[in-house]
Amino acid sequence: MSATQATGKGWAQTILGAIADGVISLDADGVVDYLNPAAERITGWTLASAVGQSVALVLPLVGMREPPSHSDPAAMSAWFHSAAESGTSLRMRDGSERQIQLSVSVVMDDQGRPQGLVLTFRDTSQTNTLMRELAHRASHDALTGLYNREEFERRLKRLLGDAQTGGGPHALCFIDLDQFKLVNDTCGHAAGDALLKDVAATLQALTGENDLLARLGGDEFGILLPQMGTGSAVRVAQDVVSALARLRFDWGDRQFSIGGSVGVASVQRDAHNIDDVLMAVDAACYVAKERGRNRVHVFEPADAEVAQRQGEMRWVPRLQTALEVGDFQLMFQDIVPTAAGRISGRHLEVLICLPDASGRLIPPGEFLPAAQRYGLMGRIDRWVTTQVGEWLHWRAGTGRSLPELVTINLSGSSLSDPEFRDFAEEQARVLPAGATLCFEITESEAIANLGEVGKFITRMKRHGCRFALDDFGSGQNSFSYLKRLPVDYVKIDGQLVRDAATDPINLAMVEAIHRIGKVMGLQTIAEFVETEEVFHRIRAIGVDYCQGYYFGGLRPLLSLT
């Protein structure tokens, strides 16, 4: 070997020793004549022990027959190319296995004849493990280990596609826990997480090999049931309800009974997309909850209750967009002194409407039930309170007179939220001089959290706010609760007022509420005064204020002179 050749070989070995990929060179007979350090590390063979050995011994590929042993580098190259394309694992010298990525090159002499092979490979075991872990995380819920919503919807889309081409039948269940919020609120998030894990284990014991169980978010779970009709799906759902009813969750010295409501729907070919299917099963679950919880309800296209829930669900994206862009419109209706029979002193109630695509204003009664059901009322209440505060500051800043009283409705979710209560107090603290807010709360929402509502009212009154109890008379224990709430106004349930001119019982109930209110030092307001006859009956009783379309409909708040 010449000095130049020796120098070139030294440089080559230095380069091969520096790279991370394993390199093995073979002669024409498939005998090893070189390993670089990376190849030694990956295979477990040293250069000294490997040189002169068959490649089948030094680089044994799992599940592959031995490579050709005759002097045919082209045949060996084709064999190794086949192994590289199919993906392979290497059995190391100590017997363990590693996945490798393999490539092969043919070495030619000066005349272009094949003289041997160079095999290059890298250990991909760690990379493949990481990829599998990432794929698992992308499709599974981190807390419970169940499939997540994304994977659930991907598999549902596949089932829907199968149904649309004549496959099936397929079904799914939507499960909503009944006691999760109680556990989470009273014992903390750690307890809530532990409960979800227990529920996941309980549900896993009920699902078959071909079923897919997923946590869809919060305390909601779903089960996809391929090749299963509605009848069989209902039996699965009943098993779920029974198992959850038997589940007892212990946390410290407390024990909770856990229940669940389940909606069932079939995956039918006439569904346009998976949103239609999810909306149907979600609506069925809500009907199950409303009918007493711990039960199953099956979606049927002609089911009026389910249709109502589906209609409410369609409001959700529209309301979310309206909150993001401020698309609501503030309206007002006057609250009129009954004795005068005309607007004076300017007491008004602020309401919100929502423009539709044609510009028509949609009244709040059409979309607020959906906002209430799907957890958007807290955000809406914040938006309205903020906007009313800004409107009052604007009027004060431009020298316009302020109404004597501006009434804002508050939902039960806001009343039970400590953060909202702090927010409302801060808004009241910075109102312009002469502005008075009155927060209107319904009787049912007030009595659901009586203690906290009472404290909130007391706090807000320190800042000059007032409170009205709305829909009074709709509950069975109205008078007993009224004594415990320090409100200023009682708004008599409009269903009683509307027919007061023709229904003597309703008229008597209106009069009774008014008299009790006066004994307690409260002012009374009659809602839904829509005709002259009703107005005269209400005035004869002595109710302090009237409100309704007899005195005018809703008008934009900015139009107030």
Handedness of CA 310, 312, 316, 321 (dihedral sign): positive
Residue 177 has pLDDT above 80, yes or no: yes
Task: Write out pLDDT tens, residues 207-252.
Answer: 888 899 999 888 889 999 998 888 899 999 999 999 998 888 888 8
Model confidence at 327: pLDDT above 50: yes
Band (315; pLDDT cuts 50, 70, 90):
confident
Query: Which two three-digit tokens encode residue 522?
Result: 């409260």
**Strands (E) located in 36-113:** 88-91, 97-108
The pLDDT value given to residue 6: 44
CA distances from 182 to 188, 195, 375, 475 (A): 10, 11, 17, 25
**Residue 121 or residue 20, greater confidence:** 121
* Stretch 520-543: mean pLDDT: 93
Pick the closest to residue 247 from 190, 211, 294, 298 (CA basis). Answer: 294
The mean pLDDT value for 120-126 works out to: 77
pLDDT band, residue 426 (cuts 50/70/90): very high
Q: Which residues pair with 175 in a beta bridge?
A: 221, 262
Q: Which of these, 432, 428, 359, lies nearest to 393 by C-alpha position? A: 432
How far apart, in whole angstroms, are the C-alpha atoms of residue 485 and residue 466? Answer: 12
Domain spans of the chain?
Answer: 3-129, 143-313, 315-559
Nearest alpha-carbon partner for 21 in 44, 39, 48: 39
Can you name the residues that pair with 330 across neighbouring β-strands?
Answer: 352
User: Which pLDDT does position 81 carry in this prediction?
Assistant: 79
pLDDT category at 103 given cuts 50, 70, 90 is: confident
Q: How far apart are CA 473 and CA 493, in angstroms?
A: 6
Q: At what angle do helices 180-187 and 189-204 cross, to 10 degrees?
A: 150
Average pLDDT rounded to a whole number, residues 335-343: 88
pLDDT at 383: 94
CB atoms within 10 A of CB 549: 12
Separation CA 298–CA 288 (nearest Å): 9
Q: Quick check: 1 pLDDT over 60?
A: no
Closest C-alpha among 499, 505, 503, 507 to residue 531: 499
E strand segments, 139-270: 171-177, 212-217, 220-225, 248-251, 254-257, 260-266
Residues 6 or more apart whose CB falls under 8 angstroms from that of 99 comprise: 87, 88, 89, 90, 123, 124, 125, 128
Closest by alpha carbon to 180, among 153, 151, 204, 200? 200
22-52 pLDDT tens trace: 888 888 788 888 888 888 888 888 888 888 8
Between 303 and 184, where is the model more confident? 184
| DSSP classification of residue 431 | P
Tokens of 13: 């070995």
Side chain identity at residue 148, one-letter code: N
Which of 181-195, 248-262, 415-429: highest mean pLDDT?
415-429
- As a whole number, mean pLDDT of residues 275-289 equals 84
The H or E element spanning position 168 is none
Q: Choose which CATH entry (1.10.490.10, 3.50.50.60, 3.30.70.270, 3.40.50.1000) describes domain 143-313.
A: 3.30.70.270
- For the cut 90, the answer to whether the pLDDT of residue 146 exceeds it is no
Assign domain 3-129 to its CATH superfamily: PAS domain (3.30.450.20)
Per-residue confidence band for 311, with pLDDT thresholds at 50, 70 and 90:
low
What percent of the chain lies above the pLDDT cut of 90?
27
Sort 190 into a burial class: Cβ within 10 Å, 0-12 / 13-18 / 19+: exposed
Q: How confident is the model at residue 310 (pLDDT cuts 50, 70, 90)?
A: low
Would the pLDDT of 369 be above 90?
no
pLDDT band at 75 (very low <50, low <70, confident <90, very high): confident
Residue 82 above 80 pLDDT?
no
What is the pLDDT at residue 403? Answer: 93
pLDDT of 159 higher than 50: yes
**pLDDT computed for residue 476 by the predictor:** 47
Q: Which residue has the higher pLDDT, 259 or 13?
A: 259
Tell me if residue 163 falls in helix, strand or coil: helix
% of the chain with per-residue pLDDT over 70: 88
CATH 3.40.470.10 fits 315-559, yes or no: no
Q: Is the pLDDT of residue 373 over 80?
A: no
The answer to whether 404 and 345 have CB atoms below 8 angstroms apart is yes
Return all residues near 448 (Cβ < 8 A) that are at least 6 apart.
Answer: 412, 416
Averaged confidence pLDDT in the chain: 83
* pTM for this model (two decimals): 0.55
- Using an 8 Å Cβ cutoff, are 67 and 82 in contact? no
The per-residue pLDDT for 340 is 86
The DSSP H or E segment spanning 507 is helix 504-519
